[in-house]
């Protein structure tokens, strides 16, 4: 019997493996050679570019400018993609705020107290407090009275509006006092805090002069026609007293409120005339005895 030897098959397999190994080695050596040549070429180009830019300051400056411009454009494009709204760097100019460090000690005390009580940020309240003190210097109105009126009328909400159309911090009837807003650009200025405060202060000052007393002025300001307005006067004067005590650094006492007052009788407005501002209580609501917060 003849036995077939596996030697030829093994020789063929070894030859194939050796060929593949040689091919792989050739490819590897070719890749290394090509890479080395490419890196050498890039290095040469970079050296030439650096040499040229080093010798030519004008070319270097132009290149740096173009590179910086490209980087800035890329950054702006990326920011526009990331943002969902347009930016407005000048928006800060419209904000009604004050730096608390610029306030006097008295103004700072009032600002912090009102901010805590009415849950309003101190910076915008500080701007209103500073403005109220400036108005007080030009008129015979106590700044703490103006702040008390704002507190009772709107709780320092500059966008407040009553059912009859009294608007803003001081709840002035815009349609009645449109002429007073002309100096501020029109009646929409009723929703600008400082403009509304200035117009409201003018209305209150006129009301006090017409009535001859602070109580009578508050009665006219709220437009009390069928009542003596004592419910409103008591609330404003109670808050006025508290703010005064805060400004003076005096402690507040529970039920620390002035005795109830009644408005000095004044002539009732003509039928159909508009009221100055609007704060209407419920018919069954008694005068409020305010408790300091």
d(CA 175, CA 184): 15
Please state the pTM of the whole predicted model.
0.63
The confidence score (pLDDT) of residue 269 equals 42
d(CA 158, CA 97): 13
The confidence score (pLDDT) of residue 5 equals 54
Higher pLDDT pick, 168 / 273? 168
* Mean pLDDT score, 35-55: 68
DSSP string of 172-219? EETTTSHHHHGGGTSGGGGGSHHHHHHHHHHHHHHHHHHHSSHHHHHH
pLDDT-derived band at 283, boundaries 50, 70, 90: very low
d(CA 221, CA 242): 21
Rg (CA), the chain: 40
The confidence score (pLDDT) of residue 281 equals 43
* Mean pLDDT score, 144-150: 98
pLDDT-derived band at 284, boundaries 50, 70, 90: very low
* Mean pLDDT score, 168-187: 95
pLDDT-derived band at 20, boundaries 50, 70, 90: confident
The confidence score (pLDDT) of residue 45 equals 66
Contact 165, 272 (CB under 8 A): no
Q: What is the pLDDT of residues 81-106, one digit of tens each?
A: 556 667 788 888 899 999 999 999 99
Chain mean pLDDT for the chain: 80
Contact 127, 137 (CB under 8 A): no
The confidence score (pLDDT) of residue 211 equals 92
Q: What is the pLDDT of residues 208-256, one digit of tens each?
A: 999 999 999 999 999 876 778 899 999 999 999 999 999 999 998 764 5
Closest CA relative to residue 170, chosen from 187, 188, 193, 189: 193
């Amino acid at each position: 019997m003849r036995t077939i030897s596996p030697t030829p098959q093994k020789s063929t397999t070894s030859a194939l493996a050796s060929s593949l190994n040689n091919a792989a080695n050739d490819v590897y050596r070719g890749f290394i050679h090509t890479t080395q040549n490419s890196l050498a070429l890039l290095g040469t180009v970079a050296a030439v570019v650096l040499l040229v830019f080093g010798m030519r300051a004008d070319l270097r400056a132009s290149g740096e400018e173009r590179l910086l411009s490209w980087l800035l454009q890329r950054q702006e494009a990326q920011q526009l993609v990331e943002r969902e709204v347009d930016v407005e760097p000048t928006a800060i100019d419209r904000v009604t705020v004050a730096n608390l460090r610029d306030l006097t000690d008295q103004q700072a005390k009032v600002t912090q107290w009102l901010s805590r009580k009415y849950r309003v940020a101190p910076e915008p309240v500080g701007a209103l407090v500073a403005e109220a003190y400036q108005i007080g210097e030009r008129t015979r109105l106590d700044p703490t009275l103006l702040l008390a009126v704002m507190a009772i009328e709107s709780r320092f909400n500059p966008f407040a509006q009553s059912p009859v159309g009294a608007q803003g911090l001081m709840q002035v009837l815009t349609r009645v006092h449109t002429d007073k807003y002309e100096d501020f650009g029109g009646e929409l200025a009723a929703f600008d805090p400082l403009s509304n405060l200035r117009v409201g202060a003018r209305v209150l000052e006129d009301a006090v002069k017409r009535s001859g007393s602070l109580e009578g002025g508050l009665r006219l300001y709220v437009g009390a026609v069928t009542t003596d307005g004592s419910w409103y006067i008591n609330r404003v004067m109670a808050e006025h007293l508290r703010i005064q005590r805060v400004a003076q650094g005096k402690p507040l006492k529970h039920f620390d409120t002035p005795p109830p007052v009644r408005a000095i009788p004044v002539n009732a407005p003509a039928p159909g005339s508009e009221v100055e501002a609007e704060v209407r209580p419920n018919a069954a609501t008694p005068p409020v005895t305010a408790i300091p917060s």
